[in-house]
C-alpha cells in the first residue's frame, strides 16, 4: 500500500501562495520547472500555513476549555515549553523555550493548555517582545489569577544567518503582572525556572 499523507489546507490560500513563491524562485534566478523545485512552491505554501496556524486559534477558548474551580493559592509553573516562531521582520524562524507561572485565584487550567497558548501566539508572524505579552494577557484575562509571569529565551536566525551573524546570542524577554511584580515573588519564580529539581 502506498504512503498517503492527509493534510487540510485552504485551497485558495495555497494557490495564491504557490504563485507568489514560484515567481520568487524566478526572481532569485532559479528555474521553478527544475525537477527539484517543481513541488517547492506548493510545499512552502503549505508549510507557511502550518507555521502561521495560530491566526485561526483562540487562546482564551483553549484555556477556558479546561478551567476548573480549585482552592489552590500556590505558584504553578510550566517551564521549558518549546516554541517555534517566525520573525515578522525577515520571516526567518526564531526558536527557544517559554517559562510560565501563575498564582490561581479560584481557578486553574489544564497544564497542557498553557503549552497550547504558547503555540497559538508563536505560530504567527511575531516579535518576541509581543509574544511574551500576549501569552501573559491571555492567562490573565481567562483565569483572573493573582499573578502571571512569562519568560521566553530564544535564538533568532535573522541574527544568526544574516546581519550581525552572532551564532551564540540568546534573547530573553519577560512579562510580570500582579503578585509577580513584587521582587520576592519574581525572585522565587526566577530561582525555580533556573534550578534543576532532582
- CA 145 – CA 73 distance, rounded (Å): 9
Reported in sequence order, the residue ranges of 6-124 that DSSP labels E, i.e. its strands, are 67-69, 76-87, 93-103, 107-109
- In the structure, what pLDDT confidence band is assigned to residue 6 with cuts at 50, 70 and 90? low
Q: Which residues are catalytic?
A: 87-90, 128, 156, 158
Specify the residue for cell string 483565569: 143
Q: Report the top-level CATH class of 11-51.
A: mainly alpha
pLDDT digits (tens, 9 = 90+) for 76-115: 999 999 999 999 999 999 999 999 999 999 999 999 999 9
Give the residue extent of every domain in the chain.
11-51, 59-194
What is the CATH number assigned to the segment(s) 59-194? 3.30.1130.10
DSSP states of 80-105: EEEEEEEETTT--EEEEEEEEEEE-S
- CA 130 – CA 94 distance, rounded (Å): 14
pTM for the full model?
0.92
Amino acid at each position: 500500500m502506498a504512503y498517503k499523507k492527509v493534510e487540510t489546507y485552504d485551497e485558495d490560500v495555497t494557490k495564491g501562495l504557490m504563485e507568489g513563491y514560484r515567481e520568487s524562485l524566478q526572481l532569485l534566478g532559479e528555474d521553478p520547472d527544475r525537477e527539484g523545485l517543481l513541488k517547492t512552491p506548493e510545499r512552502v505554501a503549505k508549510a507557511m500555513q502550518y507555521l502561521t496556524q495560530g491566526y485561526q486559534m483562540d487562546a482564551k477558548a483553549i484555556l477556558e476549555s479546561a478551567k476548573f474551580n480549585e482552592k489552590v493559592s500556590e505558584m504553578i509553573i510550566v517551564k521549558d515549553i518549546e516554541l517555534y516562531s517566525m520573525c515578522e521582520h525577515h520571516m526567518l524562524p526564531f526558536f527557544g523555550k517559554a517559562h510560565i507561572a501563575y498564582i490561581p485565584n479560584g481557578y486553574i487550567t489544564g497544564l497542557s493548555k498553557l503549552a497550547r497558548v504558547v503555540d497559538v501566539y508563536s505560530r504567527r508572524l511575531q516579535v518576541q517582545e509581543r509574544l511574551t505579552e500576549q501569552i501573559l494577557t491571555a492567562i490573565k484575562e481567562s483565569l483572573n489569577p493573582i499573578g502571571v509571569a512569562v519568560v521566553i529565551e530564544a535564538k533568532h536566525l535573522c541574527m544568526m544567518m544574516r546581519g550581525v551573524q552572532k551564532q551564540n546570542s540568546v534573547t530573553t524577554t519577560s512579562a510580570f503582572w500582579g503578585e509577580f511584580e513584587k521582587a520576592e515573588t519574581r525572585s522565587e519564580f526566577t530561582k525555580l525556572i533556573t534550578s534543576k529539581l532532582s
